[in-house]
Structure formats: C-alpha cells, structure tokens
Structure 1
Amino acid sequence: MHVTAVTPLAADSGDVGPPIFQWKWVDRNADDIVQRLGEHISLTAAALGVGLVVSIALAVLSLRYRWSYGVILSATGALYVIPSLGAFAVLVPFFGLTFLTAMIPLATYTLLILVRNIVTGVDQVPNEVREAAVGMGYTRGRLLWQIELPLALPVVIAGLRVAAVTTIGLVTVTSMLGLGGLGYFIRAGIQTATPNPTEIIVGVVLSVVLAVIVDLLLWFSERLLAPWTRKVRAR
C-alpha cells in the first residue's frame, strides 16, 4: 500500500492560528488527507457491500429453515464480539497488510446487525399481503424477492445505517496495522515525538463527518425507496 509522509508540524515555524489546530498543516497535507479519506470510504463501502450480500444469503437461509436462525445469530454474535485489533492481527500472517485483511473483519462485524434486521423486516410483513400474493399465483421465491424484501426495506436500511456508522468507526482501527484510513492521522499525531493535535483533530472530525453524511444518505435513500413509510408516519 502506498504511504505518503505527513509533513511534520514543526517543519514550518511560521504557522499561525490557534496552537491546537494549524490550518497551514492541513493545506500542506491536503493530498494525503484526500488519500486517507478515499481509503476510509473504500474500506467502508467494500465491507458494507460484502456484509450485505452475505447477510441476505444468511437471512434467506434463516427464513427458509427457521431452525437455522438461532444458530446463525449465535455464530454472527460470536464473531461480533471478537476484538477488532485481534481479528485484524490474526489475518495479517495469511494475507499481509492488505486491503483484504482489513475488509474481512469489517464485513464480519456487519453480519449480526444486518441478518437480524432483514429477518425482522420480512417477519413484519402483514399476513394479508402474503395471502393476497399467494392468491395471485406468486411462488415462494417470488413472494420473498418481489414482495417481502421490498416491504422490509425500511427495517433493512435502518440496520444498514447502524452497520455503516459502526464500520466507519472500526476502519479507524485499521490504521494501527498500517492499513490506511483516517485513523492514520490519529496514530501519527499521537506517536510523534511532539504530539500533533492538528493531525488527531483531522482524523477524528473527518471520521465523524463521514459517518454523519453516510447516515443521512442512507436515510434519504430509505425515503426514496420506501415512500409509503412517510405516509404511515404522517398519520
């Protein structure tokens, strides 16, 4: 992975402004900030994408064979409680300090949230809707993909919002293994001989802003994809 050196704060004694935050440091390191932000977004998007695909498969299995739901929740719950640094460190000997090493645990942490919300959302579909669809000739597969999952979208997206914000926070941990992301600035700001609060603030603030933006985008997508929820809430 390409790593660019961050310009030390002490390199320019002419910095002006508040002692805690130096805008000139941000200007000097703008390219590196954009690179780390891109890494953060890429890791988050990949983890959520893979996690959603796997979760849908597990949820469909749970809905088809109800006895497997408890087993799947227990397994994904056990994976969810594994400390993130430990999970990343275990994979390093097999895959090295790569994108895949970071993505696998991040995707794994989304499974419990997404599987539970998908199954819950499908279970909340009214029985009369199912009966009407069956009366119209829908097969079990068509009922699931064309009726139940679309109606479950609000609950599914609610779970995706939680998973997204959680993943963005966890991506900051990947920097501890040199795998990129905005957490790089937090680590660099702490580990320098003279701690650089500007780097720490940049890493923390951009992570929070990214989480807020992603959450708002998912909320907006819910309103677009499930417009009937607005009518229900308005009553």
Structure 2
Amino acid sequence: MNALRHRSALLAAAGTAVLALSLTACQDDTDAASASGATASAAAGAAQGQATGSTAAAGSAESDGSSDAEGSTGASGSGTTDAQASTSTPVCTAGDVAVTAALQDGPPYTHIVLTAKNTSGGSCRLTGFPHIQFLESHKQDVPEVAKSKPAAPVVLQAGEPAYALVKLSDGGTDEENEPVSAFSVQLDGDSTVIAVTAPGSEGIAVDPAAALTGYWTPELRNGADDF
C-alpha cells in the first residue's frame, strides 16, 4: 500500500514537471514569436519610413527642379533691350512736335539751334536730322553732318526736347548771304512742311553754299555737332 502510494506520488510529481516544462516551452515559443513579430514590424516600419522619406525627397527635388526651370524661363523671357524699346516707339511726326529756332553764340551769328519739343502727350522717336530749306530759290535740303549722328535713337517722352545745330554761314563779309525771316523744316519720314520763324528782329543771314545741319540729339551741344 505504501509502495503504491509512493509510486502515485512520483507519477504525480513527474506529470507536474512535464506540464511545467511544456508550459515553459510554450511561453518561450510565444515570447519568441512575439519578439520576432515585433522585430519584423519594426523592420517593416523602418523600411516604410525610408520609402516615404525617399518619396518626399524625390518630390522635393522634382519641385525644386520645376521651380528652378520656371525661374530660369521667367528670367530669360523678361525684359527688353533699349534697342527693342526704341524701335517699338512710334516715329515723331509734324503733329507730335513743336519746332522753334534760336540764335547760337554771338555775332556774326553763324549758327542757330533748332528745338523739337514733344507736345503729343506720349513718347515718340525722333530720327535722322531736320530737312531744312532756307530759300525758295534753293530747293535742295541743307546737307547733314554725319559725325553729329547720335549713337542711340532719340526717344522723346512727353514734353521732352531734342536739338539740332545748324550752320548758316562761315561769318565772312564777302559771302553771298541772303536774309531769311522764315524757313521750312520736315522730319524724317514725314512730308508735312513745318514753317519755322527765324530768330532775331531782322531774321538771319544764310549762305546756301555754306549751310549745314546736324542730327537731332538729346543734348543742346553734343561735341560732335561742332562744325
């Protein structure tokens, strides 16, 4: 009886030990699986984060590239040169300017200055030189002086003037001067005749053989106009 009871106790103890080992093994497997799952989840999350970061970086680079390209296009397409702006300005006509004459320097008054003031209310481009005829007996225009031609087109804003120096004679006493109280001026590209009153109470003395005109310039004296 005692032996049977002893054997039963041993079997019970052995069963308990086996059960404990089984529970421990199951717990270890569960923990290992959980740890493996956590590790896999962490790795997947990191990979997803890297992919998201790469996508964001690529999007940012693409956005920056687009912005740079747009900026470059805008810069290259913006603005115009002075030459383009000048050529787009309409040419001045007789109706756009008021032309007057004044004596230049003192006796013997060999030069006058023509002033063309823009009265149009807008901008216009004054080209070439004034086409002047002093006398009815001389229908040829007064010759121009090439060295007085300005380097850039003369664009007049509203109210702005341009000037042309005009030589009347050499100032000699033996010249064949003729008195002139009024004369005609035409602008480049316009056949309209502008009547200009000669300066001075007695008008001006003109030698048709010596008369010369400079180009229109934005300054009163250009340096190149000295002739």
What TM-score bracket applies, with the shorter chain setting the length? under 0.3
The structure where strand makes up a greater share of residues is 2
Which has the larger share of helix? 1
**What TM-score do you get using the length of structure 1 for normalisation?**
0.25
Taking CA–CA contacts closer than 8 Å with sequence separation of 6 or more, which of the two structures ends up with the larger relative contact order?
Answer: 1
Larger radius of gyration: 2
TM-score normalised to structure 2 length: 0.25
